[in-house]
Structure 1
Amino acid sequence: MSISTQNENKNLSTQIAQYILAQNEAVPNKSVYINFAKQLKRDKKVGQAKKLLEEGSKIYPLNLSIHTELMKIYVRQKSWKDVAKHLPRILVNIPRKTESTLTYKLYKYLISNRHYSEASEILELLVKVNPTNETLQYEYVQLAFASKNWPIAIQRVEELVQFLGEKVPASVLVDLSIAYQIVGEHEKAKSLFAECLTKYADELPELFVDGYRKVTLFDNGESRIEFYKFIEPTNTLFATFDSIDKTWERTPFAFNLLKKKRVDLVSLRRRTTKNYHQDISREEYYETVAKLADGYDKKVAYGTSLGGYSALYFGSTIDCNILALSPRNSAHPNHGTKMRVETIFQHELQHPYNPTITPTIIYDPKESIDSKYMKKVISKSYPNAKFIYFPYAGHRISIYLSQIGVLKDIVAKFMGEEEIPTYERALRSKSTEYHRILALHCAKTNKKNWALQLADESIRLSPTYDRPRVLKVELLRDLYRMDEAFEAAYEGLELFPKYTRLHLLLISLFEQENQYKEAFNAVDEALKVSKSPKLKEKREELLAKVEILATE
């Protein structure tokens, strides 16, 4: 969602909230139903809009505007029975409903869009109408957690405990113990959590999904910092940082590995893969995490690629050990990649000079961009860093280390503050990534036949990995083994029908053979499964060539 759209949503939802507050009634005006439903539809929440309008149609059965909006949705969904049911001539037979949920839905909507001030006022109105409602009392707590006002959250949880008396659910006390951690009251947090473990032993597994209770510590709409509290007491905190391909819709980086280590996690996440954390500063990260981190005996920051960069850039603000794999931010104007140039880089070009820490940095010295970044930036910023090299592992070094079977061992030894050993070179034969990267280096030195053998071995080791498939087609093309190149391209597309790069490669093969009509047809086939701008541009380019050929 763009900033302008967010502002528009905020203005409208704020106006709706202010209107309801001005009414000071439990049942909102009919126009509020219509306006809020339209907003939900713009947010592509048509199902919620429909339920809201259905509620409004029962409260205001004679209002044609509400039924018109409702019928628009029914028509769009081709729900003809519902259209007939809401025709004006039978509206008088619809019974009135005296209880409204619109105000509560609006309250939830305001929270989801981070309009906490308006949400607080709406909640006060709801509590005024239903002062003994336990759900609403609990919402006071959730609102404080959502707005990241931790002292107020603690105050409201304590008030809720008094309100509920003996009926305090496990979730309330667990969240209170977490809130104490966040503000740095660690003895209170440990004592209360121990009480929860004793008092609610049977209930806790339902509250801790995959063994964790998640609380969002920071959220600016693009970047989040999430805290994952393990179901058992632990003295170790892992600060993790997502890699380039992860968003907050997925589990955090190394989650499945680290949950076996029975540690707490604090994870820097992002909404989209185009986010390079330029929207969050080192100061914001420190202010969010520092008090929480102080309660642990052992703290580790861990990440790879963008996550490795973040482990150094953000993780170095707290007193922790750092394990960074191939650390680099692709949006860096001097050490990034061309495809990321649209991102405005707002971090410092050099990491702040820090001679007091000794991060462990693992990377491939043969990877030219990474190697340059280590020499020009990282080694100067962290003069006491320990560098460990894995030649021909490539930038995706965590994949390589996993393939040769040493990644878990490295993490375990790093956690135990043990020396990371020099692993046997023979292990490289297990890695599809090693063979692919070595093939690329051979290709650059015009050893194409060797490169092709390595690409084939990479495919044999991992038949469902797309990158060596592309490399094989390119090598066959360069060796002018065109029949085999076409065969390899089609074979790859059977496995990866939506892979734009493979489609473009197939099209280039046709162009190289001056088969422009076939190339044009291949573009049209590709556009059936991919809406890539590059494919659309290629279609326009080929269309012009085909038209010229037709006139000759």
Structure 2
Amino acid sequence: MDKQIIFEDEQIRVIFLKGNSKELIFSFGDLITRAKGLTINAEKSLAKYEYNVIGVMPKIKSWFPAASMQAMMSAVQPILDQFETVVGYGGSMGGYAAIKYSKLLKMNRVIAFVPQYSIDPQEIEDRRYTEFFDESLHQDMHITTQDVCAGSEYIVVYDPYYANDREHYLKIKHILPQLHTLHLPFTGHEALSVLASSSLLNDFIRHPWNKNYFYQQMRTVKKKSKFYYRTVINNLLSRHSAALGRILRSNDLQLEDQYLDANLKQLITRIMLSRRQVTEQDLQKLGIKVNLPQDNHPTQLQDCYGNFLVFNIISNKIESYPEEAIHLNYKYLIPLLIKSSCIVKIELNNERYIVGMNDRRVMKLFKEDDALSTDMSPIVVKKYPEYYVLSYKEQNMRCDSLGICSFVEPPLLDEEKFILA
């Protein structure tokens, strides 16, 4: 498809992608999808349906200053005059621009994901983007009634539970009382990534407004989006772990092993196992592999908070848990075999394993008679008259009140002393 730069200054680059549609789409970039060559925001999805597109791409994080937008009009106007249907589309900074310049660009419909009302610290409490506010560029940058068209359709998608975006939404809603709103709970500021879909974008552009229809299409996209589950887990887990358990039980998904990072896997297993809100099958849906032992063993070392040390075979880390949590989840939480000064070991399926770790704090199990890899060193336990200490090289293991264990430099504190219970 034919594509060319039609305007450029220090702030924006404007690119025209010629298609075969009766609609003209203004697609605005955001902080991530800034100007790079001839690339246009959502270009792959828009080109699939052969839309005519004017991509307005920010060169820096400057929220489409009014002076640049006015300056581009001489290049844009001849193209704009050829179309009766004009649609604006963008997310975050791009969502702001789609609404702010909807009247200037004669838009019939605007689709804005998690848009801002302003980044002026005098106008908004949200401080995520105030470092990019430049008074010389952003005089009166907030969205006003003069910027919008009473006869146009405005659709905003956002997470009503995310306070920062809700503040912007409520101010925009005050300007646009007839605003069409679609909620995407527990996704934070990631709505555009969660709903990345060519067919859904095509619906947003062409399908008549019908809230039930759009929610149905959004649900279809969400269920196929691994990014959705990762985002919801990250935002929902600490506050509503029971809800996550219900999501896992009611959805047939299978994430790849590397889809969730190690820290998120550890957070999931700690919270969900402590509250016994998932099963082995639920964890496997999240790509968390489980190798179950055949037998249960009594807990041995106790930290200063009254919790007991175990090796979590899901997160592959030494952690501490309350006795009740270990009893409920004994298949996953394996006690350390400790009697005196020795190398830390556990027993799985009637075989003993050494717990090794490298300088990147990655733990790994080695069969008792196997050689360690060159980057690994064993974790050792040192017995003293009144307590035990677990060490990796010159560092000692410390447990916090939440049961997260880390290795720290001396001096030795109470959090690094364990007793044999």
**Could you state the TM-score of these two structures normalised by the residue count of structure 2?**
0.55
Deviation at 1:249, TM superposition (A): 2.0
Task: Tell me the amino acid that sits aligned with residue 264 of structure 2.
Answer: L
Give runs of aligned pairs for residues 388-399 of structure 1, distance below 5 A: 388-399=182-193
Structure 2 gaps, min length 5: 275-306, 319-358, 364-378, 380-388, 397-405, 413-421
Partners of 2:232 and 2:202 lie apart in 1 by 28
Does residue 1:260 correspond to 2:48, yes or no? yes
**C-alpha distance in 2 between matches for 1:380 and 1:295:** 33
Pairwise mapping of residues 14-413 of structure 1 onto structure 2 (< 5 A)?
211-220=1-10, 222-230=11-19, 234-249=21-36, 251-272=39-60, 274-278=61-65, 281-286=68-73, 288-320=75-107, 321-328=109-116, 331=119, 333=121, 334=124, 336-338=126-128, 340-346=129-135, 347=138, 348=140, 350-353=142-145, 354=148, 356=150, 357-375=152-170, 377-402=171-196, 407-413=197-203
**Per-residue CA shift, 1:517-548, capped at 9, x if unaligned?**
7889xxxxxxxxxxxxxxxxxxxxx9xx8487
Larger radius of gyration: 1
Q: Deviations over 1:460-516 (max 9, x none)?
A: 4355545x6542233446669774586389xxxxxxxxxxxxx99989xx9xx9979
Amino acid at match of 2:18: K
Change (3 A) 1:297 1:444: same
SS of 2:90 mapped into structure 1? strand
Q: Deviations over 1:287-346 (max 9, x none)?
A: 5534431222221111122222221123442111211122237955435454x4432254
Letter in 1 for 2:155: T
d(CA) in 2 for partners of 1:287 and 1:515? 69
Q: 1:515 to 1:331 in 2, by over 3 A?
A: farther
Alignment of 1:518-529 (within 5 A): none
Cα distance in 1 for partners of 2:105, 2:73 equals: 7
SS in structure 2 at match of 1:317: coil
Can you list the C-alpha shifts for 1:89-140, whole angstroms capped at 9, x where unaligned?
xxxxxxxxxxxxxxxxxxxxxxxxxxxxxxxxxxxxxxxxxxxxxxxxxxxx
Distance in 2, matches of 1:341 and 1:505, equals: 36
Higher helix residue share = 1
Tell whether the 8 Å contact from 1:243 to 1:305 is kept in structure 2 after alignment: yes
CA distance in structure 1 between the aligned counterparts of 2:269 and 2:118, rounded to whole angstroms? 30
Aligned to 2:225: 431
Once the two structures are TM-superposed, the CA of residue 219 in structure 1 deviates from its matched residue by 2.0
Shift of 1:267: 1.2
Cα RMSD (Å):
4.4
User: 2:21·2:52 contact (CA, 8 Å) conserved in 1?
Assistant: yes
Q: Quote the residue 2:316 is aligned against.
A: 487
Structure with more strand by fraction: 2
Aligned pair count reads 288
Distance 1:277 1:378, change over 3 A: same
C-alpha distance in 1, partners of 2:13/2:361?
Answer: 38
Q: Where does the alignment leave 5 or more consecutive residues of structure 1 unmatched? A: 1-210, 490-502, 521-541
Q: Deviations over 1:332-388 (max 9, x none)?
A: 5435454x443225434630113523212222223332222211x211222222112
Q: Contact (CA 8 Å) 1:224, 1:269: kept in 2 or not?
A: yes
| CA offsets 1:218-240 (integer angstroms, 9 cap, x no match) | 222x422222234xx65432110
Between the aligned partners of 1:459 and 1:327, the Cα distance in structure 2 is 30
Q: Which amino acid aligns with 1:473?
A: Q
Q: Relative contact order (C-alpha < 8 Å, sep 6+): which is higher?
A: 2
Aligned residue for 2:418?
Answer: none
Q: State the distance in 1 between where 2:229 and 2:252 align.
A: 5
Q: Structure 1: how far apart are the matches of 2:54 and 2:312?
A: 52
The yes-or-no answer on 1:471 pairing with 2:264 is: yes
Equivalent-residue separation in structure 1 for 2:317 and 2:64 (angstroms): 39
Q: Is the 8 A contact 1:393 1:433 kept in 2?
A: no
**How far apart, in 2, do the equivalents of 1:379 and 1:425 lie?**
22
Q: Percent of aligned pairs with the same residue? A: 18
2: CA distance, partners of 1:458 / 1:270 = 40
- 1:448–1:259 CA distance, 2 compared to 1 (3 A): same
